[in-house]
Structure 1
Amino acid sequence: MRTWTIAGTLTVHPATERTDLLAEPVAKALASLDPDSLGAVEIDPELADTAAFCEAYGSPLGASANCVVVAGKRAGEVRFAAALVLATTRADVNGVIKRRLDVRKASFAPMDEAVALTGMAYGGITPVGLPADWPILIDKAVADSPELVIGSGIRGGKLLVTGDLLASLPGAEVIDGLAKPVA
């Protein structure tokens, strides 16, 4: 198994051996992925939010990526996408993402809707295992990262992944400028 330098104080397990740390759609998606490019860690669900996670476990904030579900409407049709950006940035929802979805207005999907559509816990939503028809918009800085911590679909776990693996997910689109620095 790969050695992960961003794990901090956490013990990394092969994700395929710890599917209890993954939401069901995430566990199902593992079958089509390179197992050496994925690790799973168990965390305190109360520490799932990125800043708390990084502080508690000694994982660098710059190696964390957040996945948000974005929705927009065009001609009565709701269009969804997932956006993955580094935790030190924020997704350009009303610029890049709005244009990519070709909608008049884009916003974060309501929590209950995002949870119902993904089969994942709010605060743990991850690009692995999302609905097949959703575009997965990945900031270039994420795709270029050698190691990242992302959600696992539940609040009691995290996935360790490579940017290459994320860029190779079905529906993934790497976009330069998808994220803006946090002001």
Structure 2
Amino acid sequence: MTTHLPVRSRLVHDALRAADISGEIVVLPDSAATAALAAAALGVEVGAIANSLVFWADDAPLLVMTSGAHRVDTKLLAERIGSGRIARATPDQVREATGQAIGGVAPTGHPAPIRTYVDEALAAYPEIWAAGGTPHTVFPLTYDELVRLTGGDVVKVD
């Protein structure tokens, strides 16, 4: 039952079910706002955390789902995807684009679709974890489910 979930996480839960993804949203007692915090709380490698990073490119939001073990090379990514300059979105831009706060941005449950890219390095993990719409919520899924859920293009981000 999802009634105990925060509103943002219920939206994510509903989007997961609509995509036929069965992973349950887990509410953590402490914040998992960074990949390191999430990995420690879940007892998994930091690389198995799918960070949702929002950037601004070509006057629109850009969501990059990257392994917690990587940093996004924005210049290289811009070249690979044929985009102009890519810059980190401001907290206000993140909330406007996703309806969620930095540290809890899920790969789904946004007010409108966002152009998305998925780090190919996440494919190395049989199970990955993503934020569930708040800094205290996460959920498991497979790499293939993440790509399908986001409709994202697979790319090397570093």
* Aligned residue pair count: 156
Structure 1 stretch displaced more, 110-119 or 123-132: 123-132
Of 72, 81, 95, 1:91 maps to 72
Q: Which has the higher strand share?
A: 1
Letter in 2 for 1:123: G
Partners of 1:89 and 1:42 in 2: CA distance: 25
Whether contact under 8 Å (2:54, 2:88) holds in the other structure is yes
Aligned residues: percent identity?
Answer: 26
TM-score (norm 2): 0.84
Runs of 4+ residues deviating >6 angstroms: none
Cα drift, residue 165 of structure 1: 0.5
1:62-101 equivalent positions in 2, closer than 5 A: 62-73=47-58, 78-97=59-78, 99-100=80-81
CA shift at 1:29, angstroms? 1.5
Correspondences of 1:5-154 after superposition (within 5 Å): 17-18=1-2, 20=5, 23=8, 24-36=10-22, 38-73=23-58, 78-97=59-78, 99-100=80-81, 102-103=83-84, 105-154=85-134
Structure 1 runs not aligned, ≥5 long: 1-16
Equivalent position to 1:156, from 136, 147, 153: 136
Shift of 1:167: 1.0
How far did residue 135 of structure 1 move? Answer: 1.4
**What's the offset of the Cα at 1:130?**
3.2
Task: Indicate whether 1:173 and 2:153 are aligned.
Answer: yes
C-alpha distance after superposition, 1:63-112 (max 9, x if no partner): 11211011023xxxx12210011111111212223552622x11111011
Structure of greater Rg: 1
